[in-house]
């Protein structure tokens, strides 16, 4: 369906003109090119579509229907329901671009929702946004965009891509966003060179307040829409409630023990706890205790002081490097084990080429990490790669 509203003229106010300058949103290089924009119904994707249009591209908005919430009006999951799709449609009409919706609930349920439940039940800590990017959004959106002859795909993620010169053998590089409070590079480390060459993140050079400013200036219908803080398919429930509905066995009470095996108390189900947790253990001790690990096979929660919880060595699985080149020798990096968490200096020791494994070594005060989480390594602002935490030593 093609929107009938005419394109909105660029506003000639100094502030807006400065935000739309090439050094902020990327070069005005879209003449004669088509860009597919992933439209979630939020302000970030709306401004992404606007920005790509201002860069000269013919823009097509696509909404992925990923999850149908249980509540009748779909308000508990504001980024997945019918209202979100309607917001995306209204935004496209306002900007004057065509809008299409694609149902991918089956793919999302298998690759993201079921994995989330299974991982939590196994005592691991998954990141569903990362898995959605890896298995659903970028894989399928890039394929769909290429099928319709688009030249690129743009999304509202806060990150930056520096496109290299393929003829000169320069790789594409993934960088952190200008706004550290919104940086989403942590959940994008799985992007391949082929994907990075096709993708644009035009908000990476803006702060969130500037994104809102553009939305207001162009009177986009979602300019004042609040951000969704929940995992889309969990909504306003707790993670534990969501998992327990599908796996009641995860709520069985069991022992809380120290690293020596001494019983300190009782937990009300491992699903209520994650590695690194300090509060809500229900036991009184002289020094603060942290969750060190979960033992689903014995239904035990192991706790200890901060020094015991800190990782010295982390073994990674499913390692992906943004350069597409597997290193032959160890290298220094800064590692992040939680979304927008602190960076810790580390040495990355890659496994044999083709193994997709690595060992990451820290100093005496390493991070608290959980199997199932992503560990992402950086060099300054550049994302070098990452992997899924398998074993923490």
pLDDT bracket for residue 6 (50, 70, 90): very low
Residues 273 and 283: beta-carbon distance below 8 Å: no
pLDDT bracket for residue 169 (50, 70, 90): confident
What is the predicted pLDDT for the residue at 62? Answer: 96
Read off the pLDDT of residues 20-76 as tens digits, 9 standing for 90 and up.
999 999 999 999 999 999 999 999 999 999 999 999 999 999 998 887 766 555 555
What is the predicted pLDDT for the residue at 271? Answer: 93
Read off the pLDDT of residues 314-351 as tens digits, 9 standing for 90 and up.
999 999 999 999 999 999 999 999 998 999 999 999 99
What is the predicted pLDDT for the residue at 153? Answer: 98
Q: In what order do the strands lie in the sheet with 58-65?
A: 99-103, 58-65, 34-38, 152-154, 199-200
Got the DSSP string for 185-203? Answer: GGGGTT--HHHHHHEE-TT
What is the predicted pLDDT for the residue at 391? Answer: 95
Query: Could you state, in order of their start, the residue ranges of all structural domains in the chain?
Result: 14-156+202-217, 252-308, 310-392
d(CA 86, CA 349): 48
d(CA 176, CA 184): 7
CATH superfamily of 252-308: Adenine nucleotide alpha hydrolases-like domains (2.30.30.280)
What is the predicted pLDDT for the residue at 84? Answer: 86
What is the predicted pLDDT for the residue at 2? Answer: 42
Average pLDDT over residues 117-144: 92
Read off the pLDDT of residues 188-199 as tens digits, 9 standing for 90 and up.
999 999 999 999
Fold for the domain defined by 310-392: Elongation Factor Tu (Ef-tu); domain 3 (2.40.30)
Q: Mind telling me the catalytic residues?
A: 132, 232
Fold for the domain defined by 14-156+202-217: Rossmann fold (3.40.50)
Tokens found for residue 320:
């992906």
What is the predicted pLDDT for the residue at 9? Answer: 45
Average pLDDT over residues 213-236: 87
Beta strands 254-258 and 300-304 are parallel
């Amino acid at each position: 369906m093609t929107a009938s509203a005419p394109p909105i003229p660029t506003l000639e106010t100094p502030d807006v003109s400065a935000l739309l300058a090439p050094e902020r949103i990327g070069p005005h290089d879209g003449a004669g090119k088509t860009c597919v924009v992933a439209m979630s119904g939020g302000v970030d994707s709306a401004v992404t579509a606007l920005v790509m249009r201002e860069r000269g591209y013919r823009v097509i908005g696509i909404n992925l229907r990923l999850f149908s919430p249980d509540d009748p009006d779909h308000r508990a999951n504001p980024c997945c329901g019918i209202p979100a799709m309607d917001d995306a449609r209204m935004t496209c009409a306002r900007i004057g671009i065509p809008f299409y919706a694609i149902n991918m609930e089956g793919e999302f349920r298998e690759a993201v929702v079921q994995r989330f439940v299974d991982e939590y039940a196994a005592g691991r800590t998954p990141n569903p946004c990362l898995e959605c990017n890896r298995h659903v959004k970028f894989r399928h959106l890039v394929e769909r965009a290429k099928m319709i002859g688009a030249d690129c795909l743009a999304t509202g993620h806060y990150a930056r891509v520096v496109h290299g010169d393929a003829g000169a053998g320069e790789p594409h590089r993934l960088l952190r966003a200008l706004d550290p409070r919104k940086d989403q590079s942590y959940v994008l480390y799985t992007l391949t060179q082929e994907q990075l060459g096709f993708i644009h993140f035009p908000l990476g050079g803006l702060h969130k307040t500037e994104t809102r400013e553009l939305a207001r200036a162009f009177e986009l219908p979602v300019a004042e829409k609040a951000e969704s803080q929940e995992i889309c398919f969990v909504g306003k429930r707790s993670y534990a409630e969501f998992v327990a509905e599908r796996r009641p066995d995860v709520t069985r009470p069991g022992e809380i023990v120290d690293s020596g095996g001494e019983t300190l108390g009782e937990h009300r189900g491992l699903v209520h706890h994650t590695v690194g947790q300090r509060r809500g253990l229900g036991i009184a001790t002289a020094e603060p205790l942290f969750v060190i690990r979960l033992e689903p096979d014995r239904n035990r929660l192991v706790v200890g002081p901060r020094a015991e919880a800190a990782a010295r060595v982390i073994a990674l699985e499913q390692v992906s490097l943004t350069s597409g080149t597997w290193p032959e020798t160890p290298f220094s990096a800064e590692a992040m084990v939680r979304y927008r968490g602190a960076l810790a200096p580390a040495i990355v020791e890659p496994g044999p080429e083709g193994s997709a494994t690595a060992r990451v070594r820290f100093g005496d005060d390493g991070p608290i990490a959980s199997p199932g989480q992503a560990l992402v390594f950086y060099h300054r602002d550049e994302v070098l790669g990452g992997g899924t935490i398998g074993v923490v030593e």
